[in-house]
Structure 1
Amino acid sequence: MTLSTIKGSTFLEKGSPATLFYTDRETGTVYIVDPGQGEDRPRALRRDLEKLGAGRKSVLVTHYHSDHLSALGELQVDEVAMSSLDAPIAKNPELRVVMTFGYPVNPADKLLTFHGPPIRVDVEIPPERDSYGPLKLVRLPGHTDGQVGAITPDGVFYVADALFGDRVLEKYGVPYHRMPCAAEGSLSTIEKLEGRVDFIVPSHGPLIKASDAGPFIEANIRRIEEAKEVILNVMSKSATIEDILVALLKKFKYSELTPDVLMLLEATVKGYIRCLRDENAVEVEVGERGLSFRASAKPSTA
């Protein structure tokens, strides 16, 4: 892992997720966006901070998922900030697992790929606040309710898990979003801002010139809509969650299937159902196979 300059005082430590740094040269504060995860990550970040001559170290965590924050457990920083909507979940690993996967799995269970410690949050940022220090904050809900992106004064836009690179879409088929309809709205937000920034940084994907971001955004929107279409087709007849999962697994290629990947897919399906229920597009039924879902009949235009 090597620290690289994106532009001006904005730097990148590659990884999955990537970590963004911004150095405020007036105050000596280094802002760290999403410390990430991995056994070697804390050591790499300490090396980066030393190279950047960090005085004060302030961390912005974009959302509560363990892969974005687990390195904090071994990193000494002065302040940790995140959205007030996501902060309570980040602090409690038990709640974090339930909110992510929909199952009360032990946070230390080997079923889970990532294991994040409880973290402290010093600053809980309310939804109406649009900055943290010199970083401009952009609400990007969908992946989680409180996810935020951050734009540095150099015009580098860290979009967290609101946008995925092609490899992620190829590997996991249907991207995880707690609320897919809100995630699609956040992609539209990124699209509107791409002309005002120079670079876009997905947490899991390549560094993108803003002028080249269009195809990435379109691919993510298309995948969300394709999955919705599959779900509605399955629900033309009464369908269980398992019926929907089978249809999605047939439609989209998964290069890796593990228990936690399937739990995430199931949680995403439930997110689609929530979105469709809010649109009055799905009826809920109880029958011999338990709980099932059927697409609502389109209202007559006669």
Structure 2
Amino acid sequence: METIKMEIITGRTGSFRIGNCLIITYTLPSGNLILLDSGAKSYDPLPAYLDERGIRVTGVIHTHLHEDHIANDRLLQQRYGADLYASVSEIRSSADPERVLQELGLAGWMGENYREMTAPLVFTSFPDRENTLTIEDCPFRLVPLPGHSTGHTGIITPDGVFCVGDALLSDFSLENARAPFELDMSKAMDSIRRIRREDCPYFAVSHRQVVKQSEIRRLADQNIRRLRELCAETASLVEDGMTEEELVDIAAAAREIHRDYRNVFFDIYIAIREELEYEIRLGRIRAEGEGPGRRLFRVQPRG
């Protein structure tokens, strides 16, 4: 059985891993913990680790409410009465799981799993704008970073560690993700630029790595470059008259993604469709009709 090892990033801000998921923590003056998201899988040994050390998790501040960021919410709320915080629009989505399932294209066992995870949870909202959440006189800055989800939020701890959630891909994800999920590609790129401008000593990225200020511009630029490349690759596969459904299948096959393949955390096909939408908004592709059967056409550049 894997063991939990908590490490300090700076000041009272630390981290520990559950599987390949990096959880950011902040130790309050009382000695109890605030978590920034609660992990990608439920982890029963967590309470035993905390209880042995006399630690309680009194709150979880969420970047967003996708399944891979809330897996231990129920456990922490039931055992410690932990407060669960998220933006208004994220809570609105979780209160209507069907909306999330539709946005992410989830179906079958994943959809049922999400309903089961969110149904008993009680959230406290914060506004969909930049603001501060203060817990035990400790201020957490909340920075809207929409794109990956409607109400995705970055969280800056009192020590200045910026947890950007899934608004920025880690080096690992840049190398390995075949179709990074963005609900709105344009907003996602704007959020990456917003992260790039922030002057913080450390950034926690995609729950996989912590990078220093000196590295964030490089990583942000690589993220934007990679997302643009993927969108351009999808657009390059368009043949006049092709349906959207045909394009998505071809793009998925080009990335060696099979139709029956489903990533545990999001739907590959929804991600590729948003790449297409981005190219349509840029005017490089023209679409006629609605839905998966609409016809696609290349737009010839002027001059």
Shift of 1:151: 0.7
Asked if structure 2 preserves the Cα contact closer than 8 Å seen for 1:162 and 1:183, the reply is: yes
Corresponding residue of 2:293: 290
Asked if structure 2 preserves the Cα contact closer than 8 Å seen for 1:72 and 1:119, the reply is: no
CA 1:182–1:161: 2 relative to 1, 3 Å: same
Asked if structure 2 preserves the Cα contact closer than 8 Å seen for 1:284 and 1:294, the reply is: yes
Coordinate RMSD, CA, aligned = 3.1
Which moved further from structure 2: 241-250 or 231-240?
241-250
1:71 is the counterpart of 2:75: no
Shift of 1:3: 1.1
Corresponding residue of 1:148: 153
TM-score (norm 2): 0.82
Distance in 1, Cα, partners of 2:45 & 2:140 = 25
Corresponding residue of 2:240: 237
The one-letter code of the counterpart of 1:81 is Y
Distance in 2, Cα, partners of 1:46 & 1:192 = 40
SS of the residue 1:261 aligns to: coil
SS of the residue 1:14 aligns to: strand
Which moved further from structure 2: 92-101 or 218-227?
92-101
Asked if structure 1 preserves the Cα contact closer than 8 Å seen for 2:15 and 2:24, the reply is: yes
1:80 is the counterpart of 2:81: no
Distance in 1, Cα, partners of 2:285 & 2:15 = 43
SS of the residue 2:7 aligns to: strand
Number of residue pairs matched by the alignment:
290
Distance in 1, Cα, partners of 2:144 & 2:6 = 27
The Cα offsets for residues 259-279 of structure 1, whole Å up to 9 and x where unpaired, read as 323972211122234434444
Distance in 2, Cα, partners of 1:252 & 1:52 = 48
Structure 2 matches for 1:1-302, cutoff 5 A?
A: 1-15=4-18, 16-25=20-29, 30-39=33-42, 41-44=43-46, 47-48=49-50, 51=53, 53-54=55-56, 57-76=58-77, 77-101=81-105, 103-105=106-108, 107=110, 116-133=117-134, 134-193=139-198, 196-235=199-238, 237-249=240-252, 252=255, 259-261=261-263, 264-286=267-289, 290-298=293-301, 300=302
Distance in 2, Cα, partners of 1:290 & 1:153 = 50
Asked if structure 2 preserves the Cα contact closer than 8 Å seen for 1:180 and 1:268, the reply is: no
Distance in 2, Cα, partners of 1:236 & 1:45 = 55
SS of the residue 1:86 aligns to: helix
SS of the residue 2:241 aligns to: coil
The one-letter code of the counterpart of 1:171 is N
Distance in 2, Cα, partners of 1:276 & 1:130 = 33
Which moved further from structure 2: 81-90 or 226-235?
226-235
Distance in 2, Cα, partners of 1:252 & 1:148 = 30
The one-letter code of the counterpart of 1:126 is P
Shift of 1:172: 2.4
Shift of 1:192: 0.7
Shift of 1:150: 0.5
SS of the residue 2:262 aligns to: helix
Asked if structure 1 preserves the Cα contact closer than 8 Å seen for 2:23 and 2:35, the reply is: yes
SS of the residue 1:5 aligns to: strand
Asked if structure 1 preserves the Cα contact closer than 8 Å seen for 2:231 and 2:276, the reply is: no
Distance in 2, Cα, partners of 1:132 & 1:34 = 15
Gaps of 5+ in 2: none
SS of the residue 1:168 aligns to: helix
Distance in 2, Cα, partners of 1:240 & 1:46 = 53
SS of the residue 1:87 aligns to: helix
Asked if structure 1 preserves the Cα contact closer than 8 Å seen for 2:91 and 2:123, the reply is: no
CA 1:30–1:109: 2 relative to 1, 3 Å: closer
The one-letter code of the counterpart of 1:145 is T
CA 1:115–1:240: 2 relative to 1, 3 Å: farther
Gaps of 5+ in 1: none
Matched residues, percent identical?
21
Distance in 2, Cα, partners of 1:3 & 1:257 = 39
